[in-house]
Amino acid sequence: MIRLVFTILAGVLLGGVVHLVSVLALPRIASQDAYSRLTPLTKLNAVTQLPPADPGNALMPYMDPAFAVAVCRYDLSSGPIKLKVPVSQAYTSVSFYTRNELAYYAINDRSAGKKVIELDLMTEAQHNDLPEDEDITAADRLIIDSPTTTGLIVLKALAPEPGLMPQAQASLAASSCSVQTDQPAKQAEAPQARR
């Protein structure tokens, strides 16, 4: 009797360990994650609007048909990204995900408090390489440190009524996500100024 109880307990424990390991490993080994599905549809370091959500063509899970959605698939290996998103009339949000779909930052129009959500996305190493500039304070410039060099930025604009969807889509169409070109010039000037 004790052997039977011990065997059942060992089987349950082994099953729990196998289940836990498979659940934790699945996001890293899945071949059809959101990043992979969006790669053929999007350009690198550019904003791409996604088609409206319906049950037959959901590119990402939990897409709400009341939102216009755009995606920026980013790669920070060539430099920091400058993101600008004009806010829509109702509600606008920006969410940041790593390559493995780990959410690490989100901001909306209410917390931004401006007509345009504007920020710089960079790795921690790129952030550390920024020159110390007394004219620019942390309040003037929102800098987000990405834990990985590649990932997704998901932009959403709410259309509270179906007739307002073109306005929400136009708001996202005016967004930009591009590699900063003026950053290397600032870094080149900083060492010269110290001499």
Tokens of 170: 């136009």
Structural domains of the chain, with CATH:
34-190 (2.60.40)
HSE-up of residue 43 (Cα within 13 Å, Cβ side): 9
What is the DSSP-derived secondary structure letter of residue 16?
H
CA distance 51 to 46: 16
The reported pLDDT for the residue numbered 127 is 86
CA distance 84 to 97: 17
Mind listing the pLDDT tens digit for each residue in 111-143?
877 788 899 999 988 888 877 764 555 556 788
pLDDT over 50 at 191, yes or no: no
Tokens of 167: 């306005």
In three-state secondary structure terms, 45 is coil
Mind listing the pLDDT tens digit for each residue in 80-106?
999 999 988 889 999 999 988 889 999
